[in-house]
Amino acid sequence: MVEFKFPDIGEGIAEGELLRWLVKVGETVAEHQPLVEMETDKAVVELPSPVAGVVRELRGEPGEVIAVESVLALIEATEPIPGTAPKPPSTAGVVGELEEAPTVEATGEIEAPKPALPRDRKLAEKLGVDLQQLRGSGPEGRITEADIRSAAAAGAPEPADERIPLRGVRRTMAKTMSAAAAVHVTAMEKADALALQQLRQREQPVAAGRAIRLTWLPFIVKALTLVLERYPLLNSTLDQEQGEIILHRQINIGFAVDTPDGLLVPVLRNVRRLSILELAAALQQLAKRARDRQIAPAELKGGTFTVTNYGALGGIWGTPIINPPEAAILGVGRIEEVPVVRNGQLVARPVVPLSLTFDHRIIDGGTAHRFLNGLVDHIEDPDLMLLET
């Protein structure tokens, strides 16, 4: 009997949430056939069977958090198995190369049964019974159908305040923000985006001809990249143990993507070499993969500066939190026409609100404001992007 374990897939992942089983007990499976769909804090992955055989037991239910190296299933192999399990070829999944290393051991005691069978869980949900409030009368504390119907007839106690498990992306986000030890200070500025708006409108047909959606963001990222070269402290990391500031040679821009599961920050690497159209295409593709949970863990690492475009959700001003270990983050608000005075005349202009949060342990206020002024210059005069590219 082969014990199929939740393998260590690297990237510091210690656990995952079981989303759904792709096979049933008694089903015959082929070697490398996907058995289960798991969600880690990085992505959703399908885990394949290490051998061909018959599924004898499935352990764990959808929604349950499983630790790495826990046994997920027992498979009766249909072919002779040597003393040690053969190492299957690496499996390409949404997280990149995935090596499975299940071990073959004689089975001992079967894991204790779960508090309730799946069919009884469904019954409890239908009858409005909170299983957490019940004590099971079945073997080893299992909650039985009779327990559930009895509680429903008696009127189950009112459940406590709703608690949502902190899992997957949201759990990682909470841990990351808790580790943010930077001294956060936010400086704000606004830029007249009329010239940039006109440039974007002129080039829309070119982008559309290449199936690229030309938003404001690639222009702002391009301008940001050029200004970061002049102010490298904003593209740095503080190494407190060594008493050093690490100035990064490459500019790798992370950009926050709002997904149904929480915030993900894919990273565009070495953006200095990308044109505005290439930036637009890359941003579009990465954002889609992030929302579809098909982003690779490597694409969520290595950022040196982050942009969060809460303007896409209608926000105007904000105080974004630095994505550690970076030194700064730029928040971009909703671009809208507002009345401004130009040459003594009141006119309507599209204005972009900018919020720069920086680590005051590394960056002083003067440097932050000079950086913002440089960014404003490039937004108000986008020809500067052509001259410096």
Q: How many CA atoms lie within 13 A of 54 on its CB side?
A: 4
Pairing of β 305-308 and β 253-255 = parallel
Name the nearest CA neighbour of 372 among 280, 183, 234, 180.
Answer: 234
Active site residue 369: no
- Provide the token pair at 247: 């100035």
How far apart CA 278 and CA 293 sit, in angstroms, is: 22
Residues 332 and 352: beta-carbon distance below 8 Å: yes
Q: Which long-range contacts (CB under 8 A, 24 or more apart) does 208-216 make?
A: 210/277, 210/281, 212/277, 212/280, 212/281, 212/284, 213/280, 213/284, 214/277, 214/280, 215/280, 215/283, 216/311, 216/332, 216/335, 216/352
Residues 221 and 235: beta-carbon distance below 8 Å: no
Residues 304 and 326: beta-carbon distance below 8 Å: yes
- Provide the token pair at 351: 């204005």
The Cα angle at residue 289 between residues 286 and 293, in degrees rounded to 5? 135
CA-based Rg of the chain, rounded to a whole angstrom?
Answer: 27
How far apart CA 20 and CA 244 sit, in angstroms, is: 47
Q: Which of 32, 360, 369, 378 is catalytic?
A: 360
Catalytic residues: 360
